[in-house]
Amino acid sequence: MSESKYESKITSAGCPAEQIYRVLSNMENLERVRDMIPQDKIQEMEIYPDRVRMKVDGLGQKITIAIVDRIENDTIKYGAEGIPMQANFWIQLKELSPVDTRIKLTVKADIPMMFKFMIEKKLQQGLDQAAEMLAQFPYSQWN
């Protein structure tokens, strides 16, 4: 296996970094969007302030996504447990002004070489879509 690093495109959210950080650094906020999560893909979700445990379709076991590090209004780093590879990801925030915070997502994972080329493009597309979604999220309504 070789560790690979993937970065999303940089997106712009129209609010302060502090608002974004407050929402994304507390995983209990997932309760507010639980009904939007596809029940055929994710079941038995347990949500805590620093982690979420769930059974993901196709994995056959519960996985955990946990916040492993925080830098206030700057970075939130997550780790994954219960998946067949080492992986972590983080969200970086850079406030240029109170109405312009840049968002970038990064994933580092030990992906087996035989799977790397099969998932590389989809992983990059998923990161870019997630960054766009996070930039459009109505953070001010959640604070």
Which is it for strands 87-97 and 11-13: parallel, antiparallel or unpaired? unpaired
72-107 tens-digit pLDDT: 999 999 999 888 778 899 999 999 999 999 999 999
Return d(Cα 126, Cα 29) in angstroms, integer: 21
**Structural domains of the chain sorted by starting position, each given as residue range(s) with its CATH number in brackets:** 2-141 (3.30.530.20)
For position 22, what pLDDT does the model report? 94
Q: Which stretches of the chain score pLDDT less than 50?
A: none
Q: What is the pLDDT of residue 58?
A: 72
